[in-house]
Amino acid sequence: MYFVDVQGTLIEDNTKLPTRGAVAFIDHLNTHQIPYMVITNSTKNPSNEFLGYLNSIGLNIPQSHYLDPLMMLERHIDKSRKIAAYGSQPFLSVLQSMGYLLDYTSPDVVLVAIKDDFSSDEYAQMIEFLLAGAQLVGMHETTLYVKNHKRYPGVGAILKMLEFATSASYTVVGKPSVPFFEEALSRLSLQKEGAQFRDITIISDDVKGDLIGAQSLGMRGVFVLSGKYRSAEEIIPSLKPQERPAEIYADMQAILECL
């Protein structure tokens, strides 16, 4: 059974097209009726639109096999609460289409997603709201954000910075939060009754943002080098032994060839 990441794993960060072997891997799982969930931290498009895009580029992922943070958001933030949201304009538009009220005067929640051009003034505004008592929530906890072959601090890095600056603790909606993984497991159990974390192999290009948290729950981590990191040496030597993934592959094609 599998949990499979999307950005940098099934699709390339720059072209947004399937990585080598990604289509064949998903086809293999479908053909052999191997239980799996595609779990992504995507937040720029409504869930059904992003899943529709993945299907349009050849990744035949049923709706029942898909989970993203937007599908979990209402469990974390009630729509009656005022939100100061930070991220790309498409993300802000998605929030408004979901019925959330954006407020940059006296918000109850500071909600952080990703973009590549956060300004110092935006960080200053977040800090003021947090010091005034707003709750800090991250859509996910990725380490790096890759765009146009450049690597930017991920949401996880920004959350850590804000936590250090304000002493405000934070919660996370998407990966690698326990509630997100538990929801993915619950949906996987509809495919395979009795599924448990120890039965699952998780495949991702983000060791700290995905694999370490998953491995702490008993999953087997597989690291692919088709996304955030150009080589294993950029990240593996800095990890504690228990944090290191069970296996490392170049991409989904390399995994498929070993099945």
Tens digits of residue pLDDT in 135-146: 999 999 999 999
Q: Across residues 57-72, what is the average pLDDT?
A: 98
User: What are the DSSP E strand ranges found in 8-75?
Assistant: 36-39, 66-67
10: left (phi over 0), alpha (psi -120 to 50) or beta: alpha
CATH (residue range 73-172)? 3.40.50.1000
Q: Across residues 154-164, what is the average pLDDT?
A: 97
Q: Is the pLDDT of residue 73 over 90?
A: yes
Tokens 């087997």, residue? 220
Q: How many CB atoms lie under 10 A from the CB of residue 122?
A: 14
Q: Across residues 31-38, what is the average pLDDT?
A: 98
Tell me what pLDDT residue 250 has.
Answer: 98
Q: What is the mean pLDDT of the chain?
A: 97
Structure tokens at 240: 């504690």
Structure tokens at 62: 């049923």
| Entry pTM | 0.95
Q: Across residues 42-47, what is the average pLDDT?
A: 96
Tell me what pLDDT residue 113 has.
Answer: 98
Locate the domains of the chain by residue range: 2-70+176-257, 73-172
Q: Is the pLDDT of residue 148 over 90?
A: no
CATH C-level class of 2-70+176-257: alpha beta
Q: Is the pLDDT of residue 197 over 90?
A: yes
| Partners of 226 in the β-ladder | none
Tell me what pLDDT residue 221 has.
Answer: 98
The CA–CA distances, whole Å, from 114 to 2, 50, 252 equal 26, 16, 25
30 pLDDT band (50/70/90 cuts)?
very high
Q: Is the pLDDT of residue 3 over 90?
A: yes
Same topology, domains 2-70+176-257 and 73-172? Answer is yes
On whether the CB atoms of residues 138 and 165 are closer than 8 A, the answer is no
pLDDT, tens digit, for every residue of 94-123? Answer: 999 999 999 999 999 999 999 989 999 999
On whether the CB atoms of residues 109 and 150 are closer than 8 A, the answer is no
